[in-house]
Amino acid sequence: MRFSRRTLGALARVIEKSHNHSDLDALAYEFGVEVATIGGNKLSRSVALVKAVETLSVEQGSDAPVVDLVQKIFGVVELHHSGGDEISELQHGLKLDGFEYTGGVLLPSTPEPAALAPESSTFEAELDSQGLNVSRTHYTQACENIVAGHFESANGQVRSYLENFFILTCEKATGTRFSDASAALQHLRDKGIIEASEWNTFRGFWDTCQSNGPHHGLSSSEEAMYRLHIATAIGRYVLKRT
């Protein structure tokens, strides 16, 4: 499944905002999941609907049922101007998963291996397994801020994640702790854990995180996604080397 729980939760909230109970009955019947959505308030029924359609996708080994549901919901929102602020959260979540809704169709915005949400979940688990709890917290908050549309905050959390990550991975790999990320990176290079060209790339990206990242009005969705993609790739690579 290429759709994260963050995105599916946002989808349920959009459905709750844009559909009444009769609409939910018809939607559940259309997807053949009406039994799963019996009873409860609109939000609980919307969550049950999304979960049931997600199960269909898993059973079929295809994203098609979820894609169909997302496209249908966007069509309803466009027609009736419904969905509220939750629609922006859904759009950002889809982008994080590697999808964009355009021209009435949900299309992959990146090749499947580069879709970020599955990569994020794997990386979060890897950070947990290494005991990098502070790095993990900042990284997760960066993901959540992108979904919420808080791009300056997302960039700030990427910076905090990287700073803690470089310092602690250096300490784990070499036994030496530094007070700043640049020194930790230099030490990883000096010890031959990362190569000179890799150090230069990582140092360059770290330098960009010091400048315009977290400042109000200077961060866009595209920039925040770029930074999170690069930060994820760097983190996973360094963990493999250390």
Residue 17: band (very low, low, confident or very high) from pLDDT cuts 50, 70, 90: very high
Backbone angles phi, psi at 101, to 5 degrees: -95, 120
Amino acid identity of residue 221, one-letter, is S
CA dist 180 and 186 (Å) reads 10
How confident is the model over 82-111, as a mean pLDDT?
83
Which of helix, strand or coil describes residue 130? Answer: coil
* In the predicted structure, residue 66 carries a pLDDT above the cut 90: yes
Residue 217: predicted pLDDT: 55
CATH number of 116-241: 1.20.120
- Stated pTM of the model: 0.65
Residue 39: band (very low, low, confident or very high) from pLDDT cuts 50, 70, 90: confident
* In the predicted structure, residue 27 carries a pLDDT above the cut 90: yes
- b (16+ CB within 10 A) / e for 47-62: bbbbebbbebbeeeee
* In the predicted structure, residue 35 carries a pLDDT above the cut 60: yes
Residue 212: predicted pLDDT: 54
Cα dist. 200→29, 122, 158 in Å?
Answer: 56, 26, 19
Give yes or no for a contact between 203 and 155, defined as CB atoms under 8 angstroms apart.
no
User: Above pLDDT 70, what percent of the chain?
Assistant: 92
Pick from 22-36, 55-69, 92-106: least confident? 92-106
Residue 237: band (very low, low, confident or very high) from pLDDT cuts 50, 70, 90: very high
